[in-house]
Amino acid sequence: MGGDILSQILILLAGSVAVLVLVRRFALPPVLGYLVVGMILGPHALGLASDAEAVQLLAEIGVVFLVFTLGLEFSLARMIAMKREVLGIGSLQMVVTTAAFGGAAWAFGVDPAVAIVLGGALAMSSTAIVVRQLGEQLEINRTHSRLAVGILLFQDLAFAPLLALATSIGAATDVLNPAWLLGMVGRAVLALLIVLALGRWAFRPLFREIARYRSSETFTLTVLFVALSSAWATHALGMSMALGAFLAGMLLSETEFRHQTEAVIKPFQDILLGLFFVSVGMLLDLRLLLLQLPLVLVLLATLLAVKAAVIFGIVRQFVRNNRKALRTGIVICMGGEFGFALLLLLLKGRMVDAGLVQALLTTVALSMLLGPLIVRYNKRIADFLLRRRKPDTSEVALETAATRELAKREHVMICGFGRVGQNLARVLEKRGFEYIAIDLDPFRVRDARQAGDPVVYGDAAHPEVLQALGLEHASVVVVSFGAADTALRIVRAVRRLRDDVPILVRTEDDSRLDSLQAAGATEIVPEIFETSLSLVSHVLLFLNVPARDVLETTEDIRHDRYAILRSVFRRRDARSLEDNEHALRQQLRTVVLPPGATSVGRTIGELGMDKGKVVVTALRREGIVGRDPEPTTRLREGDVLVLWGTPEDLEQGENRLLMG
């Protein structure tokens, strides 16, 4: 069984890699790629991954992590402030949409209780798709997104009673009686109190204790335990797992561990959530879609239009803005994973005509397949429907317009807005210089833009991005990414567009110093060398060396490209770099001349050590060190030579000294 599950996952992962490459190439949402993988490899198409249940558990955990991360973006105070969105708009959306679809089913002869479940299933929307796509678009904190999240949260709350109702119908027990309703409300309140109690009296002390040990592994395991245990607690009480995960994330957002928690959970979330979207795609039956294409298209258009219209009408009563209300309706109009669960339960229990349920399942799956595109282009769709002609005056549009105007003026371009980039930006700002920053961390970009900083999401190694942000008007380009390979790609991209602009590069070490210089970097600042220079300056000042001499010494070292600082001893067990393009692999090595060494009695010049790839930088004899020994120096037994070169050349030089 374990091997079957592993083989299923391997097939799906391989397909995901192949499809996602194409999806990224055409700038489409990744979620769409996962859905297509499931659809193609699933039991209704190629059949290479025929067991949807094999990945269902991992997929559900992926949704738990996603909603847990969403909870980290909220706080308890913010949730209380959102009570209107969650309880007001969310409850109205569920009631009205369920009544609309359920009433239509009842009109066609479906039993009233079953019609309620059917209507509730179609009223559900995909939390995973909506939140993931809005997050990628940096819209998660916009008005329409906040309203959408409030509606989704109430849908999660409503799933529990709908699930219990469907189960009761299948068991032919009395439903919708006061005792049953009271029990559902009681379990919901109990679940909320349990998670809130854990958050206040357990989570914060637990994380403080774990943080004392400074162990990333222990911290990661604790985060996983908290997310999954909270999900289990609400699930055990008949609620959705997503609700417990969201509450846990929301409570942790109040602590100082929020950002580290978000960082460690993201890799698990991305992988498992991908499997969730794949499992959804596996439910889409292409053959049934072709056979029932006219019916499915009508149902799809009805589902999207009715939900969007209902949500628009409700939101419009709370928000006096047609565009925001319509964008909220467009974002939420697709079907959802909880709707799938309810429809499958109806299908298995034979509570309604199987043909109708199959058509509805296909409709919901198709709506989720279109969901990422609908969310991505919600603004354009809303503008088209409203026949919007006047200029966009939204907050995002104003920020974008301001950035475009800034790009037309002289400015400093900062590639990378981490700690170094932000520190530079603050100094430039204080001195009155304008700048534009580029970064690939969407959360950092979102926070910076909210703070009013001109930061743009994008890859600075793409010439199109550089041109769009006004490289032609940049007075200086600063590359503050620590990774030397990333910096090298950016320098090459800048030089393809402009030869005259100064490029300053910050790197963590000296690994690609020569490559960066060859690519066109004007100045390179390796952190490790600058730290050494700072230490040297302080030591010399404490030794009463005049400040002018200290400054002259450090400037000379910089002028020589840190040559004196690149001669260092390395650990013998350190792995040597095998990449031939890795420029600065030179290091120091000491060689003691033993009795019988062929080099004893010969001069350095006779050995050719003074003109080869290996340089003798020093010779130590009887405790006295001589720097840069002359080629005529004759070697003796017990001499210690300090050699400098690449690991390969040092091996050859040492062999020449010892064995000739």
Q: What is the pLDDT of residue 401?
A: 65
Q: With contact defined as beta carbons under 8 Å apart, do 417 and 454 qualify?
A: no
Higher per-residue confidence, 93 vs 179: 93
- The closest alpha carbon to 117, from 372, 371, 356, belongs to 356
Position 15 scores a pLDDT of 78
DSSP-derived 3-state class of residue 557: helix
Dihedrals phi, psi of 624, to nearest 5 degrees: -105, 130
What pLDDT was estimated at residue 440?
82
Report whether pLDDT(459) > 80: yes
In sequence order, the β-bridge partners of residue 414 are: 437, 478
Question: Do the two domains 395-521 and 587-659 of this chain adopt the same fold?
Answer: no
The confidence band for 538, taking pLDDT boundaries of 50, 70 and 90, is confident
pLDDT of residue 476: 92
Q: Give pLDDT, residue 283.
A: 67
Higher-pLDDT residue of 314 and 11 is 314
Cα torsion through 146, 152, 154, 159, rounded to 10: -170
DSSP per-residue string spanning 297-336: HHHHHHHHHHHHHHHHHHHHHHSS-HHHHHHHHHHH-S--
DSSP state of 514: H
Residue appearing with tokens 């409203």: 386
- Tokens standing for residue 303: 């589902």
Q: What is the pLDDT of residue 547?
A: 83
Residues 485/513, Cβ–Cβ less than 8 Å: no
Tens-digit pLDDT profile for residues 267-301:
776 676 677 777 767 766 677 777 778 888 898 89
Mean pLDDT across 627-647: 82
306 in Cβ contact with 97 (< 8 Å): yes
pLDDT band at 415 (very low <50, low <70, confident <90, very high): very high
Q: Is residue 422 over pLDDT 50? A: yes
Share of the chain above pLDDT 90, in %: 6
pLDDT (average), residues 98-118? 86
Residues ≥6 apart with Cβ < 8 Å to 297: none
The dotted CATH code for 587-659 is: 3.30.70.1450
Output the six-digit token pair for 413. 């371009």
Domain 395-521 has CATH 3.30.70.1400: no
Using a 10 angstrom Cβ sphere, with 0-12 exposed, 13-18 middle and 19 or more buried, the burial of residue 580 is exposed
User: pLDDT higher for 350 or 434?
Assistant: 434
Q: Which pLDDT score, from 0 to 100, does residue 393 have?
A: 44
In which element (H, E) is residue 650 found? Answer: helix 647-659
* Residues facing 640 on adjacent strands: 592, 620
Digit-coded pLDDT (tens) for 214-236: 777 788 888 888 888 888 877 77
Neighbouring residues of 197: CB distance < 8 A, sequence distance ≥ 6: none
Is there a contact between 296 and 289 (Cβ–Cβ < 8 Å)?
yes
pLDDT at 477 over 90: yes
**Residue 583, amino acid:** A
- CATH 3.40.50.150 correct for 2-385: no
Res. 85 pLDDT band, cuts 50 70 90? low
pLDDT of residue 503: 92
Q: Give the least confident one: 38-47, 182-191, 643-652.
A: 182-191
How much is the average pLDDT of 602-610?
79
- What count of other Cβ atoms lies within 10 Å of the Cβ of residue 535? 10
pLDDT above 90: residue 249: no
pLDDT at 494: 93
Residue 617: which H helix or E strand, with range? strand 615-621
Q: Which residue has the higher pLDDT, 427 or 393?
A: 427
In the chain the first and final C-alpha atoms are separated, in Å, by 63
Least confident of 39-48, 415-424, 594-603: 39-48
pLDDT of residue 575: 40
CA neighbor of 404 nearest in space, from 475, 477, 456, 478: 456
Nearest-5° Cα angle at 286, 280 to 291: 135
Q: What average pLDDT does range 604-624 have in this prediction?
A: 76
Collapsing DSSP to helix, strand or coil, 339 comes out as helix
Q: What percent of the chain has pLDDT over 70?
A: 71
- Whether 371 has a pLDDT exceeding 50, the answer reads yes
C-alpha 168/C-alpha 162 separation (Å) is: 10
Asked if 438 and 414 touch (Cβ cutoff 8 Å), the reply is yes
- Residues 6 or more apart whose Cβ sits within 8 Å of residue 591: 640, 641, 643, 653, 654, 657, 658
Q: Is the pLDDT at 114 greater than 80, yes or no?
A: yes
Cross-strand pairs, 415: 438, 479
Question: 436 - beta bridge partners?
Answer: 413
Q: Is the predicted pLDDT of residue 413 greater than 90, yes or no?
A: yes
Please tell me the least confidently modeled range out of 62-71, 377-386, 437-446, 482-491: 62-71
Question: What band does 366 get if pLDDT is binned at 50, 70 and 90?
Answer: confident
Q: How confident is the model at residue 57 (pLDDT cuts 50, 70, 90)?
A: low
* Alpha-carbon gap, residue 231 to 540, rounded angstroms: 59
> CA dist 327 to 29, 127, 301, 386, Å?
18, 16, 17, 11
Q: What is the mean pLDDT of the chain?
A: 76
The pLDDT value recorded for residue 228 is 83
43 Cβ contact partners less than 8 Å away, ≥ 6 residues apart: 49, 50, 51, 52, 282
Three-class DSSP category at 584: coil
Q: Could you give the CA distance from residue 331 to residue 372 in angstroms, rounded to a whole number?
A: 9
Domain coordinates of the chain in residue numbers? 2-385, 395-521, 587-659
- Average pLDDT of the residues in 483-499: 89
Query: In the predicted model, is pLDDT for residue 350 greater than 90?
Result: no
Query: Which position has the higher pLDDT, 447 or 126?
Result: 126
Query: Which carries the bigger pLDDT value, residue 192 or residue 41?
Result: 41
- Residue 571 confidence (pLDDT) above 60: no
Which has more confidence, 116 or 287? 116
Report helix, strand or coil for 213.
coil
Checking if the pLDDT of 581 tops 60, the result is no
Q: How far apart (Å, rounded) are the C-alpha atoms in residues 233 and 194?
A: 8
Region 482-490: what's the mean pLDDT? 84
pLDDT band for position 372 (50/70/90)? confident
Could you tell me which residue, 301 or 652, shows the higher pLDDT? 301
At 307 the pLDDT is 92
Q: Report pLDDT for 196.
A: 67
